[in-house]
């Protein structure tokens, strides 16, 4: 039996090779996974042209995944550095990489990225349109927008962020309801500008079925972008954000009718107390589709530390239903991240994802923590370092400050509670002078 997309296969009762791999990784029954893909609660982004993909699932009952952003800009156009970042992201086991290149002829870089990466690859075709077509934004035609989308699909991109929900009605809502930070989505702001300059509807909304046909052809997972995501905690959960979310829910159903896999993108900046409600709202309005969040960043005052503000929000969001976290680096709001920034962002996002998996009761999530606790109870520093999320940093810290006794650290020394409790419970004397 033939099929067009992972969702089409799942609805026909077919367990694809990608489903088998994901089920094994997630310790889930393959038939249960197939049911979740069929219902749209899980997506497996897997472009037919991405030959060396090691597939991952995103959605209900699965481990929280993370995405790494990279790509060239006009001010920082070093393709080799971006490829080095990609290699590091793969080494650190990021499940997804998004190429957000927005300058010049990006196809060569994108093809290299797809060819080298076992991680799923995402793009935002809107970023590429001006550079690829060498035209002013106002002069780009509807056909040219779709040409860019199809080019990315041909190159093997597994998921695309496309801001289909910022239609003219939502744009009017933005204009009528003053925001502190307006539209901070790059792709969303470009489409808003194109609509205003041309007095036309968003082409990806007006010709949505044309977009879905491309997705079916290559089995692209459509990541419905949130043009109206809040760019400050002041703007969170406002009329524009909620109206766009309602539109995205409608577009999700239309995509599912054509067997196109969908995930929904979400906030943004948001106070901690608003996060659980937003997660519930998204899942309700978008019919349980996987939720992909940037952060949420929980306070606006920490430039240079936004990997931390994002990890706080990401952990809370994922514990309350978000399925996919976009990393944020210390360079957020300041500059293009370098290699060190990227690593800090990845580690912070992975901490948030793992903490959420523990809260969600994902099978096996606590096993890693229990192994670490056992190593600590045994004062086994080599084992602790081996189990660390970032063994390199843990080893560097340990070696930078050596204790008098190797089975302690320089904070506690002979007062080490782990070591001393074992001795006392074993009936031994202590000597801690």
Per-residue pLDDT of the chain (433 residues; tens, 9 = 90+): 899 999 999 999 999 999 999 999 999 999 999 999 999 999 999 999 999 999 999 999 999 999 999 988 888 778 889 999 999 999 999 999 999 988 777 898 999 999 999 999 999 999 888 878 888 999 999 999 999 999 999 999 999 999 999 999 999 999 999 999 999 999 999 999 999 999 999 999 999 999 999 999 999 999 999 999 999 999 999 999 999 999 999 999 999 999 999 999 999 999 999 999 999 999 999 999 999 999 999 999 999 999 999 999 999 999 999 999 999 999 999 999 999 999 999 999 999 999 999 999 999 999 999 999 999 999 999 999 999 999 999 999 999 998 888 888 888 888 888 888 888 888 888 777 6
Strands (E) in 242-343, as ranges, are 262-266, 291-294, 324-326
163 φ, ψ to 5°? -90, 75
397-427: buried (b, 16+ CB within 10 Å) or exposed (e) per residue?
A: ebeeeebeeeebbeeeeeebeebbeeeeeee
Domain contains 21:
no
Domain that holds residue 68: 62-360
Taking the model in full, what pTM does it have? Answer: 0.95
Distances (CA, A) of 15 to 20, 55, 90, 183: 7, 14, 27, 41
Q: What is the pLDDT of residue 433?
A: 64
Judge if 291 and 376 occupy the same domain: no
Residue where one domain finishes, among candidates 360, 394, 412: 360
Q: What is the pLDDT of residue 79?
A: 86
Residue where one domain finishes, among candidates 360, 379, 402: 360
Judge if 290 and 154 occupy the same domain: yes
CA distance 322 to 66: 11
Domain contains 36:
no
Judge if 221 and 115 occupy the same domain: yes
Distances (CA, A) of 6 to 57, 59, 96, 233, 263: 11, 14, 18, 37, 14
Judge if 281 and 389 occupy the same domain: no
Domain contains 135:
yes
Domain contains 48:
no
Judge if 351 and 392 occupy the same domain: no
Judge if 196 and 303 occupy the same domain: yes
Judge if 206 and 320 occupy the same domain: yes
Domain contains 417:
yes
Domain contains 24:
no
CA atoms within 13 A on the CB side of 9: 23
Number of domains in the chain: 2
Judge if 176 and 307 occupy the same domain: yes
CATH number at 169 reads 3.20.20.540
Judge if 381 and 306 occupy the same domain: no
Judge if 143 and 256 occupy the same domain: yes
Q: Is residue 123 within 8 Å of 50, Cβ to Cβ? A: no
Judge if 401 and 342 occupy the same domain: no
What residues form the annotated binding site for [4Fe-4S] cluster? 409, 412, 416
Residue where one domain finishes, among candidates 308, 340, 360: 360
Which one-letter DSSP state was computed for residue 118? Answer: S
Judge if 128 and 69 occupy the same domain: yes
In terms of Cα–Cα distance, which of 252, 359, 348, 238 is closest to 295? 348
Spatial neighbors of 38 by CB under 8 A, at least 6 apart, are 7, 10, 11
Q: Is residue 57 within 8 Å of 22, Cβ to Cβ? A: yes
Distances (CA, A) of 209 to 7, 95, 155, 199: 17, 29, 21, 21
Torsion of CA 174, 175, 178, 184, to 10 degrees: 50
Domain contains 46:
no
Domain contains 16:
no
Spatial neighbors of 222 by CB under 8 A, at least 6 apart, are 159, 160, 162, 211, 212, 215, 255, 260, 261, 262, 263
What residues form the annotated binding site for substrate? 69, 98, 127, 163, 185-187, 226-229, 265, 292
Question: CB-based burial of residue 137 (10 Å sphere; 0-12 exposed, 13-18 middle, 19+ buried)?
Answer: middle
User: Cα 139 to the chain's mean position, in Å?
Assistant: 32
What residues form the annotated binding site for Zn(2+)? 269, 333
Which one-letter DSSP state was computed for residue 221? Answer: E
223 φ, ψ to 5°? -95, 100
In terms of Cα–Cα distance, which of 311, 294, 293 is closest to 302? 311
Q: What is the pLDDT of residue 72?
A: 83
What residues form the annotated binding site? 69, 98, 127, 163, 185-187, 226-229, 265, 269, 292, 333, 409, 412, 416
In terms of Cα–Cα distance, which of 384, 297, 301 is closest to 345? 297
SS3 176: helix
């Amino acid at each position: 039996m033939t099929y067009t997309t992972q969702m089409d296969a799942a609805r026909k009762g077919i367990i694809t090779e990608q489903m088998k791999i994901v089920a094994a990784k997630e310790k889930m029954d393959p038939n249960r996974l197939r049911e979740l893909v069929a219902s749209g609660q899980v997506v497996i982004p897997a472009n037919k042209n991405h030959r060396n993909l090691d597939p991952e699932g995103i959605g209900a009952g699965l481990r929280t995944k993370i995405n790494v952003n990279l790509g060239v800009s006009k001010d920082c156009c070093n393709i080799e550095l971006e490829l080095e970042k990609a290699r590091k992201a793969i080494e650190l086991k990021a499940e997804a990489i998004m190429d957000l290149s927005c300058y010049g002829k990006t196809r060569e870089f994108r093809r290299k990225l797809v060819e080298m990466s076992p991680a799923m690859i995402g793009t935002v075709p809107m970023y590429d349109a001006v550079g690829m077509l060498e035209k002013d934004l106002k002069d780009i035609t509807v056909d040219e927008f779709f040409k860019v989308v199809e080019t990315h699909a041909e190159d093997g991109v597994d998921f695309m962020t496309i801001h289909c929900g910022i239609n003219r009605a939502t744009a009017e809502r933005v204009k009528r309801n003053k925001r502190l930070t307006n539209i901070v989505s790059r792709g969303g702001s470009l489409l808003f500008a194109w609509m205003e300059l041309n007095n036309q509807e968003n082409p990806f909304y007006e010709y949505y079925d044309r977009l879905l046909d491309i997705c079916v052809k290559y089995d692209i997972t459509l990541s419905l972008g949130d043009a109206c995501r809040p760019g400050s905690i002041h703007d969170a959960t406002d009329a524009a954000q909620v109206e766009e979310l309602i539109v995205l829910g409608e577009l999700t159903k239309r995509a599912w009718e054509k067997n196109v896999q969908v995930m929904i993108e979400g906030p943004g900046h948001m106070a901690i107390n608003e996060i659980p409600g937003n997660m519930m709202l998204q899942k309700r309005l978008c019919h349980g589709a996987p939720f992909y969040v940037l952060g949420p960043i929980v306070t606006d005052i920490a430039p240079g530390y936004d990997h931390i503000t994002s990890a706080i929000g990401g952990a809370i969001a994922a514990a309350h239903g978000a399925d996919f976290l976009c990393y944020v680096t210390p360079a957020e709001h300041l500059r293009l991240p370098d290699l060190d920034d990227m690593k800090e962002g990845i580690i912070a996002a992975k901490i948030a994802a793992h903490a959420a998996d523990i809260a969600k009761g994902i099978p096996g999530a606590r096993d890693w923590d229990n192994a670490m606790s056992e190593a600590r109870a045994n004062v086994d520093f080599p084992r602790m370092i081996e189990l660390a999320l970032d063994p390199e940093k843990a080893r560097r810290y340990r070696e930078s400050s050596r204790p008098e006794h190797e089975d302690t650290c320089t904070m506690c020394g002979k007062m080490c509670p782990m070591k001393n409790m074992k001795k006392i419970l074993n009936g031994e004397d202590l000597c801690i002078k």
